[in-house]
Structure 1
Amino acid sequence: MGEGIGSVEKAGRVGWKQDPEGVRSNIVAVAMAEFAQNGLSGARIDEIAAKTLTSKRMIYYYFGDKEGLYRTVLEEAYRKVRSGEQELDLEHLEPDAALARLVEFTFDHHSSNPDFIRIVMIENIHHGAYLEQSDLIATMNEGAIRKLEQICARGRAAGLFRPEIEPLELHWMISALSFFNVSNRPTFSRIFGAALFRPDGQKILRGHAVEMVMRFVMA
């Protein structure tokens, strides 16, 4: 048995040397699920290490401590959604089509990534303290507002959007419509039933979210 454990540990060390970024990504993915499930205070490094392809020692090597790992998880959660927005290539769409596509993407991303919603909820419990420590998150989210500023400017220039539309308020609206759909799913479905959270219900809600935003902005 000792020989088997030694072989696993050796394989872990080789993996770290050959693919350090892969090891780091594996830790972050496992940690995201742990933090989303148990929160910052409830998550345990021992539990995270046991589910990764590496060791507790390597977690501390990469991230310093549990709070450092949590900040990285928070950054990765925001990076993923902002990276997805960049891939939409909205600049080549008409402004109304670009905005509708962005709403669809946000609704779909949040619906299919409940851990992202839970991580954001957990960070709100901590009053945004760890988010505030990250310059990276601030930069990424500024990019999201700039994207909406560009869409709104093009929409106004084309006579499609009302001139008083504020991109930051628009971002708030899109986020609210998409966030509640996941954050309150357990309580809402237990009180009113789960029909809205089945595929057909989600398709309807997605369409209504787009319609509400577009009716709000159109001239």
Structure 2
Amino acid sequence: MRQPAKNKRDPEGTRRRILDAATTEFHLGGLAGARVDGIARRASTNERMLYYYFGSKEQLFVAVLEKTYDAFVSAQSALRLDDMPPVPALTTFAQFVWDYYRSHPEVVRLINNENLHRARYLRQSRIRQCMAPVLSVLVGILEKGMRAGVFRPDIDPLRCYVSISALGYYAVSNRYTLAETIGRDFSDPEEQTLLVRQHTDMLLAYVRGDGACASA
């Protein structure tokens, strides 16, 4: 009688399952809270395979950081901002960043965790290469606006990116403490809408340099 064929090895599939499982575990518990055996169980494999493909729990954490930033960059690249005038392009770019933080709070938790490590693991990653396309898009929008005379001529793109990121990041990373300390839930959809409108006004008032607002 013919014996059934054995399942073929799928190293790429195993590696992908481990990385996906680790992404979930690290998003939930950070580096310290995630357990290797828990990652292996979630990936339907064993700890030996985790070490075989990634070397260590720390190297796996670096891979998850890169995967997380890659997903952000990939989502941003789908915006198609090249043909937009500068103001709508910048507004779309900024609101994408803010919406991404709101819809991916696990990413905020992971970044918070890495800040506790003083970016020790990001320094071991290709993070600057990951983020280069996003920053390049923002540089292009700002330069286009400055050439057209609709943006002030002295905008530093990196400082602008930090400001955009901060406007969206804080309300997500501190939503629980804000609710307790000032008594308002900024995860409420109506609050989110109003906050995005306010942040947009603040951003455009700065880049235009004339105090103009989106609602003007």
TM-score by length of 2: 0.87
What is the RMSD of the two structures over their aligned residues, measured on CA atoms? 1.8
Mapping of residues 26-175 of structure 1, within 5 Å: 26-134=17-125, 136-175=126-165
Letter in 2 for 1:201: E
Letter in 1 for 2:201: E
Question: Once superposed, which parts of structure 1, at least 4 consecutive aligned residues long, lie more than 4 Å away?
Answer: none
TM-score by length of 1: 0.86
Aligned-residue offset at 1:185: 1.2
- What is the match of residue 208 of structure 1? 198
- What is the match of residue 213 of structure 2? none
Aligned-residue offset at 1:47: 1.1
Which structure is higher in RCO with an 8 Å CA cutoff and minimum separation 6?
1
Over 3 Å counting, the alpha-carbon distance change for 1:160 and 1:22 in structure 2 is farther
Give the distance between the partners of 1:211 and 1:79, measured in 2 at CA: 29
Aligned-residue offset at 1:129: 1.2
Higher share of residues assigned helix: 1
Give the distance between the partners of 1:92 and 1:53, measured in 2 at CA: 46
Secondary structure of residue in 1 paired with 2:186:
helix
Over 3 Å counting, the alpha-carbon distance change for 1:89 and 1:194 in structure 2 is same
Aligned-residue offset at 1:194: 4.7
Over 3 Å counting, the alpha-carbon distance change for 1:41 and 1:196 in structure 2 is closer
Q: Paired residues, what number?
A: 204
Give the distance between the partners of 2:195 and 2:14, measured in 1 at CA: 38
Indicate the larger mover: 118-127 or 45-54: 45-54
Give the distance between the partners of 1:22 and 1:89, measured in 2 at CA: 31
Letter in 2 for 1:193: G
Give the distance between the partners of 1:14 and 1:205, measured in 2 at CA: 53
Aligned-residue offset at 1:169: 0.6
- What is the match of residue 218 of structure 1? 208
Q: Which runs of 5+ in 1 are unaligned?
A: 1-12
Give the distance between the partners of 1:206 and 1:164, measured in 2 at CA: 25
Aligned-residue offset at 1:14: 4.0
Aligned-residue offset at 1:156: 0.7
**% of aligned pairs identical?**
37
Give the distance between the partners of 2:182 and 2:24, measured in 1 at CA: 28
